[in-house]
Structure 1
Amino acid sequence: MVNAGDEPTGNPESCVVGVDFGTLSGRAVVVRVRDGEELASAEHVYPHAVLDRELPDGTRLPPDWALQVPSDYIDVLRHAVPAALAAAGVRPEQVIGIGTDFTACTVLPVLADGTPLCELPEYTARPHAYVKLWRHHAAQGQADRINALAAETKEPWLQRYGGKISSEWEFAKALQVLEEDSEIYHRMERWLEAADWIVWRLCGTYVRNACTAGYKGQYQDGAYPSRAYLEALAPGFAGFVTEKLDHPIGALGARAGHLTAEAAAWTGLPEGIAVCVGNVDAHVTAPAAGAVEPGQMVAIMGTSTCHVMSSDQLGVVPGMCGVVDGGILPGLWGYEAGQSGVGDIFA
């Protein structure tokens, strides 16, 4: 393998850094732009792992909960990125951009400036103030009601998800917050995917990515579920989209902004380099594997197994996790299906 650090000082080869935020750890990889060669990677294990029994202060959690601490994600930027650069022998000035992916649907409540509610002293013992990891399943009752009402009112978006949405997704988890801790719900000014939060922290700009908005937020044909539907679903929920969720959506692969001085200090990367719009850990695999033509499917095996495929045709498929315009590749319909428990079951 050619070490990019051996390139002549006056003619460094451009590289990019990718950061994958998984369930238990984050991994950084350094890739040479010229040929896509993976030069080195490094991993940082989340200090708090998954909170499924108690909060850091000892507050007990009910069954089916799975939370995380957002500062663990910043620790990945502080540790894994510099370690990957060092292992690759790449100088910081060679890096021209950074991209990220995240488990989904992993969501958190924040203030208007992006501060997670769990970082406010008055909320450290409030479970609903923390990140809800993708495997948080305590909102099943809310998901059942979302599905039942959508079927009854014949919501057009329901068929795009094979006839039902998951307890893991944005609306079910947000409704659980409203119904179980209304103070946290009303205090939060943004309800967003961790995939978008980490990009916000990197570049100072909040942009919702097209993948999570479509697959996890029921964003279809340019709109979320209607205000009338949300009001019928639960008192006080009518304004969820307009007050907590709605925000400009960035195309996958587009630039969200430029690396801030603060994030440059965390990572050791140059201030001002490009920061890519966020993405989901499974869906970002398709272009990496070269599956960019209609009809090419990739199976991503892990804690769960996702099957993703793009097509130039829109079809309704019962049991699908979702079909989203531009959800995997711009200009194509992205289809997702799979098994939600694979690695977990073997473990």
Structure 2
Amino acid sequence: MVQPDKYIIGVDFGTLSVRSTVVRVSDGFEKGTASEVYKHGVMDTHLTASKGEVLPPDFALQVPADYLEAFQKSVREAVSNSGVVVRHIIGIGIDFTSSTVLATDDKGIPLCEYPEFTHRPHAYAKLWKHHGGNEQAHRLLKVAQERNESWLPRYGGLLSSELLLPKVLETFEKDREVYDKASFFVNALDWINWLLTGKLVYAGADSGFKRHYQDDKYPDAEYLEAVSPGFGNVYKDKMSGPIQPLGSKAGELTPKMAEWLGINPGISVSVGNIDAHVTAAAIQAVKPGIMTAILGTSACYIVSGPEFKEVPGMLGITYGGIADGLWCFEAGQSAFGDILAWFIKNGVTEEYKKEAEEQGLSLHNYLTKKAAVQEIGQHGLIALDWHNGNRSILCDHNLSGMILGQTLTTRPEDIYRALMESCAFGARKIIETMKVHGVEIKEIVAAGGLLKNKWLMQLLSDVTRIPLSITEATMVGALGSAIYGAVAAGCYETIEEASEAMGSKVPNVYKPHESRSLKYDQLYKEYLILHDYFGTGENQVMSRLKKIKEEAVKDKF
């Protein structure tokens, strides 16, 4: 008798929507997919979930109930679209943007759902790109440097406000009532699994990258107390719980949640993972020396190596961060596609919009077409890709974007191309920093929405001088989560084995062209001069301007 195929549900919680897929365990074939957007999106100017209260600068909040509504709809639709018999679905795996932090009660109910906290910003989910804790991040770093904390090299010697600790410290200092009421502060990927299984289990890889859990321990209470009196026991009081490695089973789906999702109870639920990191398994980039590049609104770069290397400016360095037995190095750019979208929204004339419409092209494709015919350097511009701060290598969210060389003859396509080049130069700076400090990178495998811009992908290969592979998977994050889910369900012994069987990669689609690379080298030298001048302390005008801006609006809050 032929054994029926087995399936795993993979769920990918992104910045604006959740995507679900039903994946065949034997070969990774996606039988059914679905996606749902979050009702309130990102609240970065007003608390639209309440009475529209104005938010301070650098806030990025979300409504946890939006996650659940979209989650339920996408899973049910994906299962329906797949035509798979429900009893053949044996597991579920999820990923989430990180560090997205929730304050909850002891049952996992977010505090923003309490009537007394609906108007309090710090009671809502703080999205990964919430930078309201910039000041707290700088103070955490300063004290860590003074004390020579042993974990600091694991974060490149720097500390980003995108991590969990600055966000929780911000709540502690800005809204003590919310902090005191919270039984737990959890990253969203652990929160979802808590609801699915009824057990709070912290994911080991996410804990290492985003929660400062290194060498089987959190930062010392003495250090945290030195940063802010009364904050020393935050991990003990607000984040206690077991920590499990990737590919392990967090628990089993409860009957209540099974009915809610329309699937069977008791199936395996794998330990959660970071949204970008699951991509490595989906695109067969788990092995050492193969860099995963997730190119979307922002950019995330992860690569594994057999040994720990101290690399400055990393967002995180964690053992077992992608697979057992390997160190994982993570860096990124706080904005990539967001920079191009910003320019499309604010820098294109009506004439260009009309021409693009007449040619049946999106503005992105239209500007790329016009920019692609230029000679390298013809526009006379150089840009810095810091429109949402610098995540790596400088790890400074007070930095801002810049375009140098504009004249009265500068056209929109000139600026658009310069911005694309700046994103590629930022990627090269990250890659070169890793390589200089002993991390091997011999191939880049790209995923994300920007893959559809073939000219941009070739630009990235030319600038970095590294072959660029791509994936043909339609929902890469959800597929990656399904792969980890398959390991947790016992279908494969290792993540590497599951990735080879279920992942998708088309190797070396883009290869560097030496003559173009030489010309980009000249522009890259100019980029580095500006990078160091504005980014490493020679001229801190960007930070001063941001401070002036904050002073100008502080009376509103």
Distance 2:27 2:161 in 1: 41
Distance 1:296 1:11 in 2: 36
Distance 2:97 2:188 in 1: 8
Between structure 1 and structure 2, the one with the greater Rg is 2
Name the amino acid aligned to 1:30. V
| Unaligned 5+ runs, structure 1 | 1-7
Name the amino acid aligned to 1:278. G
Matched, 1:30 2:22: yes
> Please, what is the CA RMSD of the aligned residues?
1.3
Distance 1:14 1:99 in 2: 14
1:1-347 superposed matches below 5 A? 11-55=3-47, 56-58=49-51, 59-347=53-341
Q: Secondary structure at the match of 2:67?
A: helix
Q: Secondary structure at the match of 2:46?
A: coil
Aligned residue pairs total 339
Check the 8 A contact 2:286/2:322 in 1, yes or no.
no
| Unaligned 5+ runs, structure 2 | 342-557
Check the 8 A contact 2:6/2:26 in 1, yes or no.
yes
Q: Secondary structure at the match of 2:54?
A: coil
Greater Cα offset, 53-62 or 107-116: 53-62
**Cα displacement string for residues 113-134 of structure 1 (whole angstroms, at most 9, x for unaligned residues):** 1111111111111111110001
Distance 1:325 1:79 in 2: 35
Aligned to 1:3: none
Deviation of residue 292 (structure 1)?
Answer: 2.3
Distance 2:304 2:86 in 1: 35
Distance 2:118 2:74 in 1: 27
**Cα displacement string for residues 296-345 of structure 1 (whole angstroms, at most 9, x for unaligned residues):** 21111112111111111011001111110111112211111121211221
Distance 1:314 1:253 in 2: 22
Check the 8 A contact 2:158/2:312 in 1, yes or no.
no
Q: Secondary structure at the match of 1:48?
A: coil
Taking structure 1 as the reference length, what is the TM-score of the superposition? 0.95
Name the amino acid aligned to 2:258. A
Check the 8 A contact 1:77/1:266 in 2, yes or no.
no
Name the amino acid aligned to 2:50. D
**Runs of at least 4 residues of structure 1 off by over 3 A?**
none
Distance 1:50 1:250 in 2: 30
Q: Secondary structure at the match of 2:169?
A: helix
Distance 2:260 2:45 in 1: 31
Q: Secondary structure at the match of 1:198?
A: helix
Deviation of residue 11 (structure 1)?
Answer: 4.8
Q: Secondary structure at the match of 1:338?
A: strand
Q: Secondary structure at the match of 1:238?
A: coil
Q: Secondary structure at the match of 1:122?
A: helix
Deviation of residue 182 (structure 1)?
Answer: 0.4
More helix by share: 2
Greater Cα offset, 194-203 or 45-54: 45-54
Q: Secondary structure at the match of 1:65?
A: coil
